[in-house]
Amino acid sequence: MNLKNGTEYIESLRKLKPIIYYKGKKIEDVTRHPATAPHVRAAAMTYALASDDEYRDLATATSHLTGRTISRFTHVHQNIEDLIKKIKLLRILGQKTGTCFQRCVGFDGINAAYSVTYEIDKKCGTDYFERLKQWLIGIQDKNLMVVGAMTDPKGDRSKGPADQPDPDQYLHIVERRPDGVVLRGAKLHMTGAVNSHEILVMPTTAMDERSRDYAVVCAIPVDAPGITMIFGRQANDDRRDKLERIDVGKPAFGAVGGEALIAFEDVFVPTDRIFMDGETEFASLLVYRFAAHHRANYGACTTGLMDVLTGAVSYLTQIQGTAKASHVRDKVTEMIHLCETLYCSSIACSAEGQPTPSGAYLVDTMLANVCKQNVTRFHFEVARLALDLAGGFIATLPSQYDLESEDVGHLVRKYFSGVKDISTEDRIKIARLIEAMTGGTALVESMHGAGSPQAQRVMILREGNLDKKIKLAKALLGIPQRVKAKQGE
């Protein structure tokens, strides 16, 4: 692997020249700017674990393309063991960062594109699969971070891509040349975009033949001409921007994933980096497989975050002298129960995975949707229990400036103290951590990341195999099975 540790990853970002704006001003160095540096450090943890003897087996893999050791985040799943190791790795990373470490979307996009391009080639006689493999070997050997770019702005959501008054509301091809294509449009909410090396563009929905120009999968460097990113605001970002180390909650690793709008203004993509161009019938399959992989993740990375939150609130109850109360112990027990239940979902959909025609493994799609549906409920309940146990002072804490004030600092230290021998500053720090993990973008990510809750419910009903369940009930009661009439009878 070219980039062997977190330091090398950070140094590699300084060599790139992407155009990034935040609060109306251009960011010159994402590794040093207070808005983006925490997210860089979170992603750097994925590199650090790969060079750590304790975690190397989970954080690295052997490339089936080259036989070389690579980051697991650039790997194509070859068996159930790969799927399960991924889940274990994501939970550990969640525990170590307390936030999103941002490489999962690109990881899942690689796996979805790998299996789908194989099937496009088999049916259409294209050479997308070979192009993708050659691109992927470069990603693996250099250990580059890839941002998966799927979500389009969508404009008028009652209309599909081809019917939008503004065609740019879905990313699309505006020109085809002998040596490549030109793209225009945007992708929204792209996690880790500003600190990635490459963008993997994917369609966001099923498409008909009229939407041929929108059915595109391709890879683009983040600093390619015509790419502009706008970094999103997050809860309490003014505290972070002003380097308020106590009030920010998670000063080392940031709030969530560092999401950005990526605008494509006539961006040229050479032919060898195009992996789908107009094959609309495969757009839904790619979205389907990507979503399954990505929804499986949430029962792992989110449980890592929930581990941290459970530990934080448990420590706070010790500081406040309430840890031994029976109702406190019961609520902490429920937090642990919900966390482990989610983890079971991720493990289960991985253990039930099956190979696609390409040989790459796909998680059980039904169980992956159930996993993500549970995330949209359990994470909120764990957050509610954490806030219940923490108490109302989390919402009314004085600032770091008050704590350090010569005039009133002694009052803050006195009246926000807890049990003896634990500093007021520690109590405030742990409270701010709970605040950061239970508000703002953290829970929005759990709700809408990898698709809204309704998207999972649609898939759960679609894959619920109700006909089979009806037959089971009828068979138990001896009710004859009706044979469906043939068409035309």
**Can you give the pLDDT at residue 195?**
97
pLDDT at 241 > cutoff 80:
no
Burial class of 95 by CB neighbour count within 10 A (0 to 12, 13 to 18, 19+): middle
pLDDT at 302 > cutoff 60:
yes
Q: Are 276 and 286 in contact (CB under 8 A)?
A: yes
**Can you give the pLDDT at residue 442?**
57
pLDDT, average across residues 80-106: 95
Domain final residue pick, 281, 313, 338:
281
235 in the same domain as 212 = yes
- The pLDDT tens digits of the residues spanning 6-49 come to 999 999 999 999 999 999 999 999 999 999 999 999 999 999 99
- Is 339 among the catalytic positions? no
Question: What are the φ/ψ torsions at residue 22 (nearest 5 degrees)?
Answer: -145, 125
- The pLDDT tens digits of the residues spanning 325-372 come to 999 999 999 999 999 999 999 999 999 999 999 999 999 999 999 999
Please pick, among 298, 361, 379, 435, the residue that the annotation labels catalytic: 298
345 in the same domain as 211 = no
171 in the same domain as 76 = yes
Give residue 223's Cα distance to chain centre. Answer: 22
307 in the same domain as 269 = no
**Can you give the pLDDT at residue 468?**
80
pLDDT at 453 > cutoff 70:
no
Q: Are 342 and 376 in contact (CB under 8 A)?
A: no
**Can you give the pLDDT at residue 365?**
93
- Is 445 among the catalytic positions? yes
266 in the same domain as 326 = no
- What is the domain-level CATH number for residue 214? 2.40.110.10
pLDDT at 450 > cutoff 70:
no
Asked whether residue 407 is assigned to any structural domain, the reply reads: yes
263 in the same domain as 346 = no
381 or 452: which leads in pLDDT: 381
What is the DSSP secondary structure assignment for residue 282, as one 8-state letter?
G
Please pick, among 99, 191, 356, 441, the residue that the annotation labels catalytic: 191
Neighbours of 387 (CB within 10 A): 17
382 in the same domain as 437 = yes
- What is the domain-level CATH number for residue 405? 1.20.140.10
pLDDT, average across residues 229-246: 81
**Can you give the pLDDT at residue 215?**
97
Asked whether residue 72 is assigned to any structural domain, the reply reads: yes
Please choose, from the candidates 340, 298, 368, the residue with its C-alpha nearest in 3D space to the C-alpha of residue 105: 298
Helices 441-448, 365-390: axis angle to 10 degrees equals 160
Please pick, among 47, 117, 293, 301, the residue that the annotation labels catalytic: 301
pLDDT at 461 > cutoff 80:
no
Q: Are 344 and 351 in contact (CB under 8 A)?
A: no
305 in the same domain as 429 = yes
Asked whether residue 231 is assigned to any structural domain, the reply reads: yes
- The pLDDT tens digits of the residues spanning 160-201 come to 999 999 999 999 999 999 999 999 999 999 999 999 999 999
Please pick, among 33, 75, 172, 294, the residue that the annotation labels catalytic: 294
Domain final residue pick, 281, 314, 333:
281
308 in the same domain as 273 = no
- The pLDDT tens digits of the residues spanning 117-169 come to 999 999 999 999 999 999 999 999 999 999 999 999 999 989 999 999 999 99
Highest averaged pLDDT of the listed ranges 279-283, 423-427, 462-466: 279-283
216 in the same domain as 110 = yes
pLDDT band at 385 (very low <50, low <70, confident <90, very high): very high
Give the residue numbers spanning the domain of 300: 286-470
Please pick, among 47, 100, 379, 435, the residue that the annotation labels catalytic: 100
Please pick, among 119, 198, 244, 259, the residue that the annotation labels catalytic: 259
**Can you give the pLDDT at residue 489?**
43
156 in the same domain as 119 = yes
Name 339's Cβ contacts closer than 8 Å, sequence gap at least 6. 303, 306, 307, 310, 378, 382
Asked whether residue 135 is assigned to any structural domain, the reply reads: yes
Domain total in the chain: 2
Please choose, from the candidates 191, 190, 136, 144, the residue with its C-alpha nearest in 3D space to the C-alpha of residue 46: 144
Asked whether residue 36 is assigned to any structural domain, the reply reads: yes
477 or 453: which leads in pLDDT: 477
Please pick, among 22, 39, 60, 104, the residue that the annotation labels catalytic: 104
- Is 371 among the catalytic positions? no
% of the chain exceeding 90 in pLDDT:
73
pLDDT at 488 > cutoff 50:
no
pLDDT, average across residues 443-452: 58
Query: What mean pLDDT value characterizes the chain?
Result: 91
pLDDT, average across residues 253-279: 92
**Can you give the pLDDT at residue 445?**
58
Asked whether residue 302 is assigned to any structural domain, the reply reads: yes
pLDDT band at 394 (very low <50, low <70, confident <90, very high): confident
**Can you give the pLDDT at residue 463?**
79
- Is 435 among the catalytic positions? no
What is the DSSP secondary structure assignment for residue 209, as one 8-state letter?
G
314 in the same domain as 211 = no
Domain final residue pick, 281, 307, 324:
281
- The pLDDT tens digits of the residues spanning 211-227 come to 999 999 999 999 999 99
